[in-house]
Chain A
Amino acid sequence: MSKKACPSPASVMRSNRIHPARIIEKIEETPGIYTYRLQFEEQEVADCFAFAGGQFNMLYIYGVGEVPISIVSDPEDAHILDHTIRVVGRVTEVIGKMGVGDVMGVRGPFGSGWPLEEAKGKDVLVVTGGLGCAPVVGAIEYMFRRREQYGHIRIMHGVKTPRDLLYRERFDQWRKEPDTEVLLASDQPEKTWHYHTGVITELFDQVEMNPANTVVMMCGPEIMMKLAARHLIRRGLPDHALYLSMERNMQCGIGLCGHCQIGPYFSCKDGPVMRYDLIAPFLAKDN
């Protein structure tokens, strides 16, 4: 389906309706993580659907339910809609079994994503942890497609054990990009691990940073983000330059269902990417 001019953007974008979309491609990133390329079934929706980098969709699986999933494709190629999904539970298990030709529902896009505009002209530090952080992959690829618009890009990724490192090839690929660094750390040692052994914050001390001109994007376990943020602030980064992806339970994605609250915020509409200075008091706490 080729994209034509959208006749009435609001009717699609503000309707909060679920639109059927077909899987036209499925890529296995690593076992249990798949990227799906979706195509809307309705021409009007295909024409009108537009999103900003880092927004998410609620993906609807027939007879099962909806889950929030970040859009990882490039907002400027809005006719392409990619989602990278890790199989973890009830809904994602079913998604994992779906293949090319299957249909799911898409409601969105919602939320605010990575500060890709604000980061233009600045250095970018991406700090991730845990089992792969799909939402940030899209942001990284976005920047590389516009490599000249961004300063130094440094990607730091921490895992518990070397076995947890997914997307190994991707890290290797990124490492080849100009003016780009990729640093990996594993809490536990292993013979084949050629990178840093220890926690990720230790890496911060090994690199030079330009605190006044850096934007940090973080994604991972909250406790890791909290420790990393404190460390970076001590290194002189302003707290408002740190952006964190805050995942919460979401049933509606539009600020009505009440589940995704973090103190005064709703992660779905005030986030999911949120500035550290705003959410610091609520970070990594039962709330």
Chain B
Amino acid sequence: MATSDMTVSKKIKPRLAVFKFASCDGCQLSILSLDEDLLILDQAVDIAYFPEASSKMQEGPYDVTLVEGSISTPEHLHQIAEIREQSKILITIGACATAGGLQALRNFADADHFTEVVYAHPEYIESLSTSTPISEHVKVDFELWGCPIDKLQLKQLLSDLLAGVTPRFPGQSLCQECKRKSEVCVLVSGGEPCLGPVTRTGCGAICPSMGKPCYGCFGPADLSFPNDREQANAASLAERFATELKMSEDEIRRRFHLIYSYMSPFKEIGDADKKGGGNN
């Protein structure tokens, strides 16, 4: 985790850049959705590179770089290395950048076959066979999870960085927030396959509050602190889905393999080949 020492640039405004790889744009849009806080941000930093918002595209180096999207073409590999070199603090935002995104589903299948399904002339497509998180390629100082990221967390992240404070977000599971909001548990009282117990908090328990089981879009809960890796007990929840909810193996696999399919321990659920595998 980065020590967000941005004090050096107290006089000169820190330079902010936003880059995009394979993604839906939603996380960048979250920046534009900061309402009036966007104007405050604009006063506090020099937005040096953010093509979605400005045609003024300045070269690096940058003090803070936000990266959206996953690495999925050969060109991306060079770009991300260059971006890292240009960036003092590099922060990945969203499920794509932090875990390969929904499109990482292709890591579990034969990507060539996928190309044929969508495009008529597969020979035109230049794509890697995998969609991978940024951290698999370069050092990442901080990650903001979620698909899309949560506006309040984004605000807190930026606010902390500007104040020279190391951002920190809780890794525990969603259920705490769900209960604080007095939502009725959709799993216990509705028999729905809620991923909340093994999903990282951050969204504000949106799905249960909408009467829908959580589908894990904030990724697996991180039960370790500070750094000894205690993983969410996805296997136990999967077992419960099988016994109490009578779900089939395939249904259970599909449940875990959606937005954060490429991150342990979701990755290993129902994936015979990769069972017990590490982060790769």
Direct contact of A and B (CB under 8 A): yes
Chain A residues close to B by CB (< 8 Å): 63-64, 89-90, 93-94, 97
Q: Give B162-202 as 1s and 0s: 1 = Cβ < 8 Å from A's Cβ atoms.
A: 01111010000000000000000000000000000000000
Residues of B within 8 A of A63 (CB): 159, 163, 165
Q: How far is the CA of A97 from the CA of B3 in the complex (A)?
A: 12
Q: List 16 A-B contacts (CB under 8 A).
A: A63-B159, A63-B163, A63-B165, A64-B163, A64-B165, A89-B166, A90-B165, A90-B166, A90-B168, A93-B3, A93-B165, A93-B166, A94-B164, A94-B165, A97-B7, A97-B164
Which bracket fits the contact residues of B? under 10
Q: How far is the CA of A90 from the CA of B163 in the complex (A)?
A: 12
Residues of A within 8 A of B165 (CB): 63-64, 90, 93-94
- Shortest beta-carbon distance, A94 to chain B, in Å? 6
Apart from A90-B168, A93-B3, A94-B164, what are 7 other A-B pairs with CB-CB below 8 Å? A63-B165, A64-B163, A64-B165, A90-B165, A93-B165, A94-B165, A97-B164
- Shortest beta-carbon distance, A40 to chain B, in Å? 24
Q: How far is the CA of A64 from the CA of B156 in the complex (A)?
A: 11
A-B interface, 7 closest residue pairs, ranked by CB to CB distance from nearest: A90-B166, A64-B165, A90-B168, A94-B165, A63-B163, A93-B166, A93-B3
Q: How far is the CA of A63 from the CA of B156 in the complex (A)?
A: 10
User: B226 — nearest CB in chain A belongs to which residue?
Assistant: A89
Residues of B within 8 A of A94 (CB): 164-165
Interface of A is mostly: helix
Residues of A within 8 A of B7 (CB): 97
Q: Give B25-59 as 1s and 0s: 1 = Cβ < 8 Å from A's Cβ atoms.
A: 00000000000000000000000000000000000
Q: How far is the CA of A116 from the CA of B7 in the complex (A)?
A: 42
Residues of A within 8 A of B164 (CB): 94, 97
- Shortest beta-carbon distance, A163 to chain B, in Å? 21
- Shortest beta-carbon distance, B1 to chain A, in Å? 9
Q: How far is the CA of A90 from the CA of B165 in the complex (A)?
A: 7
- Shortest beta-carbon distance, A6 to chain B, in Å? 35
Residues of B within 8 A of A93 (CB): 3, 165-166
User: B159 — nearest CB in chain A belongs to which residue?
Assistant: A63
Q: How far is the CA of A90 from the CA of B166 in the complex (A)?
A: 6
Residues of A within 8 A of B163 (CB): 63-64
Q: Give B142-163 as 1s and 0s: 1 = Cβ < 8 Å from A's Cβ atoms.
A: 0000000000000000010001
User: B4 — nearest CB in chain A belongs to which residue?
Assistant: A93
Q: How far is the CA of A97 from the CA of B159 in the complex (A)?
A: 17
Residues of B within 8 A of A64 (CB): 163, 165
Residues of B within 8 A of A90 (CB): 165-166, 168
Residues of B within 8 A of A97 (CB): 7, 164
Q: How far is the CA of A64 from the CA of B159 in the complex (A)?
A: 11
Q: Which of B159, B164, B165 has the most CB of A within 10 A?
A: B165
- Shortest beta-carbon distance, B138 to chain A, in Å? 24
User: A94 — nearest CB in chain B belongs to which residue?
Assistant: B165
Q: How far is the CA of A89 from the CA of B166 in the complex (A)?
A: 8
Q: How far is the CA of A64 from the CA of B165 in the complex (A)?
A: 7
Q: How far is the CA of A66 from the CA of B3 in the complex (A)?
A: 19
User: A87 — nearest CB in chain B belongs to which residue?
Assistant: B3
Q: How far is the CA of A89 from the CA of B165 in the complex (A)?
A: 10
Residues of A within 8 A of B166 (CB): 89-90, 93
Q: How far is the CA of A90 from the CA of B164 in the complex (A)?
A: 10
- Shortest beta-carbon distance, A92 to chain B, in Å? 11
Q: Which of B7-25 contact A (CB under 8 A)?
A: 7
Q: How far is the CA of A97 from the CA of B168 in the complex (A)?
A: 18
Q: How far is the CA of A97 from the CA of B8 in the complex (A)?
A: 12
Q: How far is the CA of A106 from the CA of B165 in the complex (A)?
A: 20
Q: How far is the CA of A97 from the CA of B166 in the complex (A)?
A: 13
- Shortest beta-carbon distance, B126 to chain A, in Å? 43
Residues of A within 8 A of B159 (CB): 63
User: A90 — nearest CB in chain B belongs to which residue?
Assistant: B166
- Shortest beta-carbon distance, A61 to chain B, in Å? 9
Q: How far is the CA of A93 from the CA of B1 in the complex (A)?
A: 13
Q: Give B238-277 as 1s and 0s: 1 = Cβ < 8 Å from A's Cβ atoms.
A: 0000000000000000000000000000000000000000
User: A89 — nearest CB in chain B belongs to which residue?
Assistant: B166
Q: How far is the CA of A94 from the CA of B7 in the complex (A)?
A: 11
- Shortest beta-carbon distance, A73 to chain B, in Å? 27
Q: How far is the CA of A63 from the CA of B160 in the complex (A)?
A: 8
User: A63 — nearest CB in chain B belongs to which residue?
Assistant: B163
- Shortest beta-carbon distance, A87 to chain B, in Å? 10
Residues of A within 8 A of B3 (CB): 93
User: B156 — nearest CB in chain A belongs to which residue?
Assistant: A63
User: B3 — nearest CB in chain A belongs to which residue?
Assistant: A93
Q: How far is the CA of A63 from the CA of B166 in the complex (A)?
A: 12
Q: How far is the CA of A157 from the CA of B2 in the complex (A)?
A: 33
Q: How far is the CA of A58 from the CA of B166 in the complex (A)?
A: 20
Q: How far is the CA of A134 from the CA of B7 in the complex (A)?
A: 27
- Shortest beta-carbon distance, A230 to chain B, in Å? 27
Q: How far is the CA of A63 from the CA of B159 in the complex (A)?
A: 9
- Shortest beta-carbon distance, A115 to chain B, in Å? 33
- Shortest beta-carbon distance, B173 to chain A, in Å? 18
Q: How far is the CA of A101 from the CA of B159 in the complex (A)?
A: 23
- Shortest beta-carbon distance, B65 to chain A, in Å? 21
